[in-house]
Amino acid sequence: MENKWLVILNPSAGGSLAKKEWPLIKRELERQELPFKKIETQYPLHAISLISNMIKSGYRRVIAIGGDGTLHEIVNGIMRQKHIAPSEIILGMISVGTGNDWIKTHSISTNYAEAIRLIKTEKVIHHDVGRVVYKNEQQMDETRYFINSIGIGFDARVVKYILPNKLKGKSKKSDYMKGLIKSLFSNNNISSLIHLDDKKIETKIYNLTIGLCQYKGGGFKLLPHAIPNDGLLDVTLACKISKCKLILSLPKLFGGRVEKIKYFDFYQVQNIKLDISAPICFEADGEYLGLHPLNVSIRPNQLQLISAYR
């Protein structure tokens, strides 16, 4: 099993595109003579328990087929399992999602044949993993890991708006734009005390992006300086911003010139603690988690991920 790839397919990814495309992907895996065993997720977060059980069975090479959410679940399963060190797993990605943000930093093609050729090289990056602690609906502390980024405020509210279609396996790229427009009129600045390592900032959060990679939200380069294996969390903070100012900033946001937006500040840290005056939406790797983020930290060089990152 150590030489056989475990393929975890999320059939609902990309608005059920993954299920439709699986025969093409399967044919390409066989054509390139990559030995594999395929299993499918059946419900949200199923991949977390699946990967733990399959690691226990002896698998050490894993391919995620789906979107950023599928990768998110598999990373959480690897980080939570107790059978081996997470760094012993090699994880590759064939993207069939809606946003496909993680692969953009890593220069991984959405062409299945090219993605599989890269997987066969087993060229890996020793990737950092983020960790967020938050209050769940029962007001109990809960932990989730992330491999790309988390969003607090505006960006997470967009994710919340598109959640119903995503749960039905009917998500599409246009949903994000509709959610973005809704969020422009509903999101507000929330009074907060932010601890960035030893630095304290008392402000009003409109949006806070924290991550390891550069892209989120379907291709927005919100963390332009992020390096996935430097042991640091990159932070982009938008505070005390009006809806009018945000609308005027959209051309720069869409054009990948986020550094030119004067209402945005940028930091690099290892730990973030949040004291927030009111509930605020937040998400991890495009997965909506709730309203009460507490603190965020970095776990350096935790995973071997197949990448063309330079």
Annotation: CATH topology of 130-298: Tumour Suppressor Smad4 (2.60.200)
Classified as helix, coil or strand, 69 is helix
> 243-281 pLDDT, tens per residue?
777 778 877 877 778 888 888 999 999 999 999 988 899
> Which residues of the chain fall short of a pLDDT of 70?
1-2, 164-165, 167-174, 176-177
pLDDT digits (tens, 9 = 90+) for 229-238: 999 999 999 8
Q: What is the dihedral of CA 11, 144, 295, 298, to 10 degrees?
A: -90
Structure tokens at 146: 């992330």
pLDDT of the residue at 176: 67
**Per the structure block, which two tokens stand in for 4?**
């056989």
Alpha helices in the chain (DSSP H): 13-31, 46-57, 68-80, 102-105, 112-121, 154-167, 173-186, 243-254
Domain ranges within the chain, ordered by starting residue:
5-128, 130-298
Rg (CA), the chain: 19
The SS3 assignment for 265 reads strand
Pairwise CA distance, residues 188 & 179, whole Å: 15
- The pair of structure tokens assigned to 292 is 């009460």
Rounded CA-CA distance 304/236 in Å is: 26
Helix (H, G, I), strand (E, B) or coil at 17: helix
What pLDDT is recorded for position 167?
67
Give the sign of the dihedral formed by CA 132, CA 211, CA 215, CA 235.
Answer: positive
pLDDT digits (tens, 9 = 90+) for 147-156: 999 999 988 8
Q: How far apart are CA 155 and CA 44, in angstroms?
A: 21
pLDDT for position 152: 94
CATH of 5-128, one of 3.30.70.60, 3.40.50.300, 3.40.50.10330, 3.40.718.10: 3.40.50.10330
Return the pLDDT at 83.
Answer: 95
62 close to 4: Cβ distance less than 8 angstroms: no
pLDDT at position 151 is 94
Q: Distance between CA 290 and CA 273 in Å, rounded? A: 17
Paired tokens of 305 = 């991920």
Residue 31, pLDDT score: 97
